[in-house]
Amino acid sequence: MKTKVKKAGLLASLILTSVFASALELNGPDASFLNQVKNYGLTQENWDSGEMATASFQNAWKFTHSYTIEKSGHPSEQWKAQEKLNLKEIQVNDADGPLSLEVLLRDRLHNNAMVVLKGDNLIHEHYWNGLSPDSKTLVMSVTKSFTSMLAAIAVEEGKLDMSRQVQDYLPELKGSAFANSTVQEVSDMRSGIKVNIAPGLSWDHAMTHAQEWNGYVEGRLKGTIEYAKTVKARQYPTGQAYQYQCINTEVLGLVVEKTMGKKLPELFSEKVWSHLGVESNAVWQSDPTGYVVASGGLNITTRDLAKVGRMLLNDGKNNQGEQIIPKAFIDNLMEGNDEVRSAWKYNKESHLAPDAWYKDQFRVMNIKGRKMLAMVGIHGQSVIMDKDSGTVIATAGSYARPETPRMALMMFQEMAPAIIKAAENI
């Protein structure tokens, strides 16, 4: 009898493993594209550098392994035509004084595309740097918020308890700096871990080597989980400080896959992408083991990003009234709590927006009388949402230096409040 049970269990395990591994096809780097772009100085080794961003971000997935997430047969959401914003007439400020929002976006922020919604109305759309409405671009750390949304769905389905320790779900991380952190602390970037980060970056090169983000590196760790095991040091007590570390999001994604029994791109397709009324496919970049870059690998059109923002402002429902993301999750983001407010002051972002917090891979910032919910990428990619006015701002960017205070000031102190104010007058 025991033998039969073991055989049955093994068979079930093999079936689950087969489904888990093969639901979506893992694509390798695009060899013909790599051969073409090397003549213009673009390589796997340098494609994500600031110098290359304006050319590479609209082709990012071709440099790495990736999954294509197909759009569904769900009817595409149609926005109503509305009076448009005039970027030339909206005045903002920079270090040298007042200028038009168009100049700030195009010439100083290196913005590539923007879609602005007010309620169900499309009030602005532009595409620069060779982009079009159909262009997918790498949204970098905006991806983090999608990983967190999938965690929220796992909680809603009763499969994930955010108060449990990471090692309860990922026993292979026992002995790492994540061992005693809760899933919630990891999701809030409050794990207290310390990693080696090169100046100007928010990730460890050892992690990107493990992910083959810049091609194969001799002697690299094989996959994201292998890198996570090596994170041993601590900078703060668990739960105390907000530290922006990409590996937190990678660990969160691994927990979601473990609890849901499916890969993140498959969950993303089933639970989110197929219900949004999107217009285009998405592509999610991956490490060579098949685990996606949960902290920064999604490639999405700016129009479809705006649909995500509209859904979040609609309490997690799509335009058909179907609940996609739990309303309680969004409410908790907007309310924050004492833990995340206290943790915020330890990070450099607190100097740019003192009244703010980071929770579940989203930022909530109170700036110039606006309470903005934001999904943010380090080169100027964003989805910025203002509940009071019903405004959604989705951007694609290729700012040359990642995660700089100057970029953040232009986006959140000038661009976003000016657009929201102008939208209220339409």
Say what the pTM is: 0.93
pLDDT tens, residue order, the chain (426 aa): 333 333 333 333 333 333 343 479 999 999 999 999 999 999 999 999 999 999 999 999 999 999 999 998 777 777 887 778 999 999 999 999 999 999 999 999 999 999 999 999 999 999 999 999 999 999 999 999 999 999 999 999 999 999 999 999 999 999 999 989 999 999 999 999 999 887 766 678 899 999 999 999 999 999 999 999 999 999 999 999 999 999 999 999 999 999 999 999 999 999 999 999 999 999 999 999 999 999 999 999 999 999 999 999 999 999 889 999 999 999 999 999 999 999 999 999 999 999 999 999 999 999 999 999 999 999 999 999 999 999 999 999 999 988 889 999 999 999 999 999 999 998
Please name which of 144, 105, 126, 71 lies closest in space to residue 303, comparing C-alpha atoms.
126
Q: Which CATH superfamily hosts domain 80-424?
A: DD-peptidase/beta-lactamase superfamily (3.40.710.10)
Q: What does the domain layout of the chain look like in residue ranges?
A: 80-424
